[in-house]
Amino acid sequence: MTNATIAAAFEQIADLLEYQGGNVFRVRAYRNAARTVEGLVEPVASVRTDPERRLTDLDGIGADLAGKIETLLDTGRLPLLEKLEHEVPAVVFDLMRVPGLGPKKVKALVDALGIASLADLETACQDGKVRGIKGFGAKTEASILDNLAFARDPERARLLWEEAEQIARGLIDWLRECPETVRAEAAGSLRRGRETVGDLDILVESGDPVPVMQRLVDWPETDEVLLRGETKTSVRGPRGLRIDLRVVAQESFGAALQYFTGSKEHNVRLRTRARDRGLSINEYGVFRLADGGGGASGPSLAGETEPEVYEAVGLPWIPPELREGRDEIELASEGRLPQLVTLADIRGDLHMHTTATDGEDTLAEMVRAARARGLAYVAITDHGKRVTMAHGLDRTRLLRQWDAVDRLNESLAADGEPPIVVLKGIEVDILEKGGLDLPDEVLARADWVVASLHYGQNQPRDRITARIVEAIENPHVSVIGHPTGRLINRRPPYDVDIEAMIEAAARTGTFLEINANPWRLDLDDRHAAAAKAAGVKIVISTDAHSTRGLDVMRCGVLQARRAGLEKGDVANTRTLAGLQKLMKQ
Ligand SMILES: [Zn+2]
Ligand SMILES: [Zn+2]
């Protein structure tokens, strides 16, 4: 029974009492107790077993609450909570999972509209009935609709990295405007560049936590304050995202950044390494272990910066994207950490669409936007004709587009701006029955061919794999686009034998794509690492459908970094001549 579980039980009692219209002081007592328990550094069980102390020594814990903690510790259950859970209709628990709906609002919804399910709530919002209830309004109604997905499935409500990063950037700018803020950084899975982010961990260095934490509470995007402690404040921000802000002193900032960046697995291994050296690492710093291996003691040996924390255990600094507890500590200790590819290394973008199919911007607009982003070459890869939904190109329209590319290249060469070369490309469709939707004699005239599978995604593994391997073996195919077809949070990957795909790509010199679209990001980190190990070169492409879409390249680069890819592993870090030399044939 962890502190967090005990705290959650008390929070739930407080919620249910409040729902029932219980005594406000009693409700507050449970909330305070929850906060005390959650804020304890040591397990509450160890307070109980310590002969020198009592549970009632803890802030806000009287004899009654101390008894409840003991019951929870002994039995894992609490009769009061079970009684309340029995008395309150089940829908209340569902409704309270909607960010922004506390017990009082839930009660108002149930009383006024007889809401009996999340589906009822959705219908009532859509019909505009919720805004009419006292204490609600059109804005609350809209935010309930936005947040319903979260209540239905918290796992699926993890935000895409790019969405979370935008929220974090806005918040960090806001916190930096606070005069007491010295430094502010995001830690956690956001900093590690994970595909999705469940909550935000923000760290601020300051000698004066109170105004910094107040600044978070005052943030216009803060929906709900979940917890206020001495150095930690938690709120519910936009999209139901939980945000934990911790304010730390200068001497601990690096240690805290390391600690809260995680991952858990990485930190466990790092602590083991520290222990082997008679050291202890925590969020405050690096300490010498007391004799006999007990707790930490003495002054902190390191902690102001992250590199010095790693140095204290004999390691170079490890990039956050690699901190997943795989082999990074071993690689670091052997001096074999990869020099990860960076956004600045990328010279070309080899997958994008225009108004000729389902893009929003014209050929010329896309190319100028790419040039403005410093790229030296792009491939225009509109859809082949099979993708009828996108008005895919047949042979005639494709050849006409390539004529336009020729003319554009001439005018680009003549206009005195930094040079950019446009490659004649196509995103050819890997057909359900096998084969591609444009004939080889057309593909032979292309500079760059992306082959992607858009239809027949439910076929069995051997069929899908055979279609893709056949495309890889086509001498004109340069790269396989979005090789697993997944859409994060929306659609699982199709059932393809990735090893067979990688083996065929290695054998034929075909590239595999990391699609930088934040919904896609396939190949993922593990698969891209496997491709690298097999000697397959990766292409990171945006698959942009608008000029704005070109900006997601950084998401693809992040995925490549998580895979441990170096500049040399990524084909579009080469010059155009270098890329063409790498291509098959
Ligand atoms: Zn596609
Ligand atoms: Zn595409």
Confidence of residue 157 (pLDDT cuts 50, 70, 90): low
State mean pLDDT over 405-421: 91
Cα–ligand 1 centroid distance for 565 (angstroms): 23
Considering every ligand atom shown, identify the ligand nearest to the alpha carbon of residue 545 and give its number. 2
Give span(s): CATH 1.10.150.110, the chain.
Answer: 3-152
Q: Which ligand is nearest to the CA of 429?
A: 1
pLDDT over 70 (residue 256): yes
Which residue has better confidence, 151 or 571? 571
**Is residue 108 over pLDDT 60?**
yes
In whole angstroms, give the CA distance from residue 37 to residue 59: 9
What separation in Å is there between the alpha carbon of 208 and the centre of ligand 2?
Answer: 50
Distance CA 61, CA 65 (A): 6
SS3 assignment, position 529:
helix
Q: Extract the tokens encoding 473.
A: 């073996």
Q: How far is the CA of 545 from the centre of ligand 2 (A)?
A: 8
pLDDT in tens, 491-529: 778 999 999 999 999 999 999 999 999 999 999 999 999
Handedness of CA 340, 344, 347, 353 (dihedral sign): positive
- The answer to whether 94 and 109 have CB atoms below 8 angstroms apart is no
For residue 404, pLDDT over 60 is answered with yes
- Ligand number nearest to the C-alpha of 544: 2
Nearest ligand, CA 425: 2
Which of 149-163, 337-351, 352-366 bottoms out in mean pLDDT, i.e. has the lowest? 149-163
Average pLDDT (4-20) is 89
Q: What's the CA-to-centroid distance between 399 and ligand 2, angstroms?
A: 18
Q: Please name which ligand lies nearest the alpha carbon of 487.
A: 1
Distance 568 CA to ligand 1 centre (A): 25
| ∠ CA 559-493-343, rounded to 5° | 15
Residues paired with residue 296 on neighbouring β-strands, in sequence order: 289
Q: Residue 281 is inside which H or E element, if any?
A: strand 279-282
CA distances 351 to 426, 449, 484, Å, are: 8, 9, 16
Quick one: which ligand is closest to 350's CA? 2
| Cα–ligand 1 centroid distance for 483 (angstroms) | 9
Where along the chain do the CATH 3.20.20.140 domains lie?
Answer: 343-582
* DSSP 8-state secondary structure symbol assigned to residue 202: E
The closest ligand to the CA of 542 turns out to be 2
The yes-or-no verdict on residue 580 having pLDDT over 90 is yes
Q: What is the mean pLDDT of residues 6-10?
A: 88
Q: Which residues contact 464 (CB under 8 A, 6 or more apart)?
A: 453, 456, 457, 494, 495, 496
Of the candidate ranges 18-27, 123-132, 273-282, 482-491, the one whose mean pLDDT is the lowest: 482-491
CA 352 to ligand 2 centroid distance, Å: 6
Which long-range contacts (C-beta less than 8 Å, at least 24 apart) are formed by 52-60? 59/32, 60/29, 60/32, 60/33, 60/35, 60/36
CATH number of 3-152: 1.10.150.110
Q: How far apart are CA 13 and CA 84, in angstroms?
A: 7
564-to-95, 110, 528 alpha-carbon distances in Å: 42, 52, 9
Ligand 2 centre distance from Cα of residue 200 (Å): 31
Residue 318: the pLDDT is: 98
Model pLDDT, residue 1:
66
pLDDT bucket at 148, cuts 50 / 70 / 90: confident
Domain with CATH 3.30.460.10 in the chain: 159-248
* pLDDT bucket at 122, cuts 50 / 70 / 90: very high
User: How far apart are the CA of 384 and the centre of ligand 2, in A?
Assistant: 10
Average pLDDT, the chain: 93
pLDDT grade, residue 221 (50/70/90)? confident
Phi and psi based region of residue 434 (left: phi greater than 0; alpha: psi -120 to 50; beta: remaining) = left
Q: Which of 204, 137, 216, 212 is nearest to 171 (CA)?
A: 216
CA 397 – CA 441 distance, rounded (Å): 15
Q: What is the pLDDT of residue 128?
A: 92
Structure token digits, residue 307: 């590199």
CA of 482 to the centre of ligand 1 (A): 7
**Backbone angle region of 272, left / alpha / beta, with phi > 0 → left and psi within -120 to 50 → alpha:** alpha
The DSSP secondary-structure symbol of 262 reads: -
The answer to whether residues 541 and 350 touch, using CB atoms and an 8 Å cutoff, is: yes
Q: Which of 342, 256, 339 is closest to 300 using CA atoms? A: 256
The rounded Å distance from CA 452 to ligand 1 centre is 6
For residue 578, report the distance from its CA to the centre of ligand 1, in Å: 25
Helix, coil or strand: residue 140: helix
248 contact partners, CB below 8 Å, separation of at least 6: 203, 204, 205, 206, 231, 256, 283
Which residues are close to ligand 1, an ion, with C-beta < 5 A?
Answer: 452
Ligand nearest to the CA of 351: 2
CA of 323 to the centre of ligand 2 (A): 31
Q: SS3 letters for 43-101?
A: CHHHHHHCCCCCHHHCCCCCHHHHHHHHHHHHHCCCHHHHHHHHHCCCHHHHHHCCCCC
Q: Residue 292: what pLDDT?
A: 60
What are phi and psi for residue 54, nearest 5 degrees? -130, 155
pLDDT greater than 90 at residue 374? yes
Instruction: Using the mean position of ligand 2's atoms as its centre, give its distance from the Cα of residue 481 in Å.
Output: 7
Report residue 407's pLDDT band, with 50, 70 and 90 as the boundaries.
very high
Q: Closest ligand to 480 CA?
A: 1
Proximal ligand: closest to the CA of 387: 1
Q: Classify residue 215 as left (phi > 0), alpha (psi -120 to 50) or beta.
A: alpha
pLDDT at 339 over 60: yes
User: Is the per-residue pLDDT at 293 higher than 60?
Assistant: no
CA atoms within 13 Å, Cβ hemisphere of 338: 22
Q: Which residues contact 569 (CB under 8 A, 6 or more apart)?
A: 341, 532, 537, 538, 560
CA 443 – ligand 2 centroid, Å: 17
Give mean pLDDT, residues 54-71. Answer: 92
Distance 131 CA to ligand 1 centre (A): 41
Distance 423 CA to ligand 1 centre (A): 18
Ligand 2 centroid – CA 540 distance (Å):
13
Name the CATH topology of 159-248.
Beta Polymerase; domain 2 (3.30.460)
Is the CATH code 3.65.10.10 the one for domain 265-333?
A: no
CA of 382 to the centre of ligand 2 (A): 7
Does residue 490 register a pLDDT over 80?
A: no
Architecture of domain 343-582: Alpha-Beta Barrel (3.20)
Q: Which ligand is nearest to the CA of 541?
A: 2
Across residues 5-27, what is the average pLDDT? Answer: 91
* pLDDT for 366: 97
pLDDT at 155 over 60: no
Helix or strand (DSSP H, E) at 209: helix 209-217
Residue count (the chain): 585
Instruction: Kindly give the pairing relationship between strand 242-248 and strand 232-236.
Output: antiparallel
CA 561 to centroid of ligand 1, rounded, Å = 23
Q: List, for residues 300-325, the tens digit of each pLDDT value.
A: 999 999 999 999 999 999 999 999 99
Distance (Å) from CA 20 to ligand 2 centroid: 54
C-beta separation of 571 from 582 below 8 A: yes
Say which residue, 96 or 438, is predicted with more confidence: 438
**What's the pTM?**
0.76
Nearest ligand (C-alpha, residue 522): 1
